Copies of this chain bind each other. A is one copy, B any other.
């Protein structure tokens, strides 16, 4: 494993370590590996917190990589279609957030309606809840994306 040493003003011109694995995967699927696309992928991969499109956009700009918001949205949707990211919606937030979906086991989140902090929920299994809902309503719920809102310890 080699360390990636980059010019701080030019960080994302080189593919980041984490993305290397996905470059081939994308190519195999017939997608091209462009700088903006990798920047989006990278950003999501490097960030724990589910991000809004404009947060992704801002982060990429900070790295001095030019990108357009529309491109961020387009790539987010491409990754969504591929199942590589998931789209989350928290109560009281009027925009979507996106998170890398390979982080199984902590794909559930709780967000604070006051300060906006978001933490992942280490729920080992919500199988019982799922089964309960299945029995009562017949719905097959997707607890893969499971967002709750409340107050974080600081804001209570």
Question: In the complex, are the beta carbons of A91 and B92 less than 8 A apart?
Answer: no
- A141 sits at the interface (CB 8 A): yes
Task: Decide yes or no whether A70 CB sits under 8 A from chain B.
Answer: no
- A146, B145: Cβ atoms closer than 8 Å: no
A150 contact from B90, B96, B140, B152, Cβ within 8 A: B140
Chosen A-B contacts, 25 in total, with CB atoms closer than 8 Å, are A87-B91, A87-B92, A89-B90, A89-B92, A89-B93, A91-B145, A91-B147, A94-B96, A110-B137, A112-B139, A119-B137, A121-B133, A121-B136, A121-B137, A133-B148, A133-B150, A138-B152, A139-B152, A139-B153, A140-B151, A140-B156, A141-B150, A142-B149, A142-B150, A145-B149
* B133 and A139 within 8 A (CB): no
Classify the secondary structure of A's interface with B: mixed
Which B-chain residue is minimally distant from A91 (CB atoms)?
Answer: B89
In angstroms, Cα B102 to Cα A2, docked, is 58
Tell me, yes or no, whether A105 is within 8 Å of chain B by CB: no
